[in-house]
Structure 1
Amino acid sequence: MYTSSKKLIPLIISLFASLTPVMVYALPSQEQFDQTMQELMSSSASHHHQPFIAQLTQWAKEGHEPSQVNLGQMYLQGDFVQKNLRLAYEWTNTAAARNNPKAQNNLGKMYLRGIGVKKDTLKAYELFGKAAQTGLSDANYNLGLMFEQGIGVEMSMPYAFSYYFRAVKTEAPQMFQQNMGRAKQGNPIAQNDLGYMYVIGFGTEKNSQQALYWFEQAAKQQLPEAMNNLGVLYDGFGEFIPKNFDPGYYKAIKHYRSSLTNGRSIENAAARVSLNHNLANQYFSQALKLGHPAAQFNMAKKLETGLGVSADQQQAVQLYQAAIVQGFTLAEYELARMYMNQNNETGRSKALPLFESAARKGDSRAMNYSALLSGKMIDIPGWFNPVHSSGPEEYQRWLKTQQRDQLIDEDYTEAGIQKLQQQAQKGNASAQYKLALFRIEGFKYLPQDFKEAENLLKAAAAQGNAHAIYKLGWLYSREYVFVPADTSDTSLFSSYKYAMPYFKAAADQGVPEALLELAMTYHNGMGVEMNPAMAVSYYRQAAQSGLPPAVRWINRFKESDRK
């Protein structure tokens, strides 16, 4: 009997256990989660944190992604809990595996820096790319940083600016409202930046009269940036300067918003402001007295081209040099271009160190010119050196391509340009293509004009010039000229979608740069669905021509496969 009762005990316990109610944790509402987070952040003593952390942990175990994301960050930073990189990775990876964009972005940063995991820039790039597809601002910004600094990817300023622009676009309305509030309180920096936002239509509709008003308010308080911007507004030409914008965002806007690009500012920013070069000169002079580098740069451009002033090349050089001393890197490139346009060895020898200096500060145009003038690619930490990746023979092929596209052997004299124009007027596709490149770059005898470049490229493309077809796609994808609006298309990369037929047509004729563009668009999902297999295929085709970025990507994929 005793033995039998001993055998019954486990059975009785199991029966009672089956009657014990099972605790079911429901996932929190957004309100419950927000309240828990608020109470956690407002709790002072560490022992007060414990119940909130326990609650978040339970929710995270039940699959609540916001809890997983926040716990991951807490363990990563050591906020409210003891720092634990293993738990930081586990919670972040759990949410990222469920395609949570914030978690993917956070995990990407861990891989990028090698925090809690082995450093893997390719993995970081892929995670940022997935998160960026959802429009997450921070992920787009991180991709911009990778491309600008050449971290784990081929340095590409156009791609960097593209991602920066997409990052900041979602934040524009909030930034506009913040500046409006401060501007109305008399803050001159906010007044200037508000005017800047009205000029470019950033967070609001373009309104040049409002821009004029707010620039004037800031200028009355002796803000040199505002004086410079009034000069640009009245000239319809030059570099607008904000005061308190993130550098990456400013670069993005400068390259991707039409009203900030030389030659397009007249059409857009000053459309309803009567051009007045005398007033512009007055405002530039006021800013020059305060030593503002942007005003020095803009006035140098005026003196170089004779816009609203008597041309004075010597004074232009002096002002470019003054801006360079203050760290205004655009001036290095422009002064180097002036020297190179002298079309002699003395000018080129003066241009080379300036191009190299600008290149080291992130100007990809200057990097190309420095390579062309010296015959070698300068080796910059974090930059891509094509000699290292593709060998001397492939590099020489690439160099010849760059010589064609950078017009290094062209006659830069006025007579030479006139001869090129005559050939273009007679329908010579090669001359039309070269003139378009001059118009894209901007030159003493041919000011920057993207619309004219588009027309020339169209004329050359109509005759089957493959490089012109590619360059049209390039213009459209970078939004240097406006593409027909498709109100049904709200995607972040609509301009790339418009450019795709041009890239494909040029790629069909074997243009390596077009093949690379297709590889990048499929790799990043820009205007198309992400397709790694298609991306690799196009990278391989581009790499066969020796195009260094494509070779670099193929090598990187091979390294990833070996891990």
Structure 2
Amino acid sequence: MQAKTKKKATPTQNKTLDHRNRFRKLQNKKEPKNSLERCEEYLARGFQHNRNAFQIIRQHIRNTDRKDSASLAVYGFLLEFGIGTEANKPSADRCYREALKQSPQNGLALFRLIAIRKHGEPGCRTDRKEAHELYVFSLKNKVNLTEWIEKMAKKGNPDAQHCLGTAYNTGIGKRKNSFRAFKWYSSAAAQENRQALEMLGLCYCYGVGVGADPERGFSHLFAAVSHKDHIAKYNIGKCYSLGLGVERSDRRALEWYLLAAKRGDQRGENAAGCCYEEGKGTDEDTGSAVFHYTQSAQMGHSWAQCNIGYCHQMGRGVEEDVRKAVEWYRKSADQHHPRAMHNLAYCIQHGYVAGSSKREAFQLYMAAARLGHTPSIHSVGICHMRGIGAKQNLQLGVAYIKEAARMDHQQSFLALGFCYKSGYGVGQSDKKAFLYFKQGKKLGCPMSANILGSYYEAGIGTVPSPAKAFLSYKHSATGGNMFGQFNLAQCYLHGLGVPVSVDRSFYWCKKAAENGVVRAQYKLAVFYETNFCDEENSFKHALYWYIKAAEGNHPKALVILGQYYECGLIKEAHMVVAVKFYTQAAVQGNKLACDRLRTLYYVGGECRENSVVALSG
């Protein structure tokens, strides 16, 4: 069987085929990739191609005279994370701002600038107010903040995966989802991305999107540091401070905070300042605390701005200057820092800020309260009860204070105890007052503990219990409450709930006297005068404390000083001074002072006995 021969095409048919082939080629021909697409292609291939991606986009930026917003944002992204070059956060910050000037709705530039302003980066300022404004702008204009990030993350770029994880973690650009955040952090960390290793470590430490495993979290943080993630140093310090995944050590925490601070980390600077101020891991050094707070505050860290403001307000490590304190508080409050808002409101309320009103103070308390700041919620309640910057409303005030109490605020339990004790804004109830004071004591409030002691002692709202009264007074005294110190001294002196101990009574009485308790000053003078203590110059000490008590208008101290002057125990007899002291005591109803004045009257600078001419009792 013969094979079929293929017929040759005619010239006309050949011409038609040529036209068809040309048309197919034109259809299949792809347009040449632009610089941004080529850059993205290299980024998707892996870290070994990062240098090519960086060179392409840098050259494109130069060729376009920095006029391409999309490319500028990508260039900033490469600079921020050190992709194909050394990381340069300040330059990245500038690129993002330039991109937004050219195109205010550039999603990538908006997303990254919000993150930098909110959390701060070495060499870049923190400004939570600006971050909030940018985020609100993105919501109003329905800007897709994560479009480019998500595209690159799905192509396998680890830095984009880390950023997408952060979007899910913070709820900025994506609906908050801790499980998806953990997934993307894990994907990036598998490629040894240092930022993702840090965030994965934090997820394990605090149980975000995964079961808490602090030890595993600490190991991830350490791996991030070994990959030169300097921000992770702060978090390692925090782990040592809290004992997360490692043995607790304030000294080691401070060491890591200082390492982070050296690399320009704002949080590290602030945390180091806290350690120096509170004497954690080192000797207390308020001067060093001020130095570190200032370094962090100047970079815009809101916590540090609040802390340095407090140092200026209280004169800790720096000269007391309320004006400077208010300046720092305002900077921090502008970033919606609730504690700074509260402290600024306090300064305004107490007249430290010229030209400000109580109404402004109330509004600041209210703004901080809306952010969930417990002391501010309490302060709003106090303002309503006292009519400070708002119309007086006792019931509303009590409601706010109860809300703060539900958040375990010490002072709120104390305030509610007083309300129920006196029936102020609520129905009077000794039993409820007792329960609120008791809860305040449990939370460590020394004043609540002192009042609770008096309730146990007198059996108010509860069954009398000298032993519980003693324990409550002791709790108050060791917490630094001066009235608790005096009451504890009385317990030791009279054996209330504890064996009598004159030495312990003297010790706590002296503490209370030094803290300004007038009754304690009088009792301490009696201790010295009756030789209950073995110190030399007892009379001199007794006289000193009688004078201090008399300055506080203590009637018995006034009478004793009157007797001293009348009998000449102080230099020489001076009847005029004696009468002056007797009169001060008599005005308060002191019987002995009245008796002395009945037998004394003043004539031409002298006093003499006369039973007829006498002051009436």
- TM-score, normalised on structure 1? 0.35
Q: Rg: which structure is higher?
A: 2
Higher RCO, Cα 8 Å, sep 6+: 1
- TM-score, normalised on structure 2? 0.32
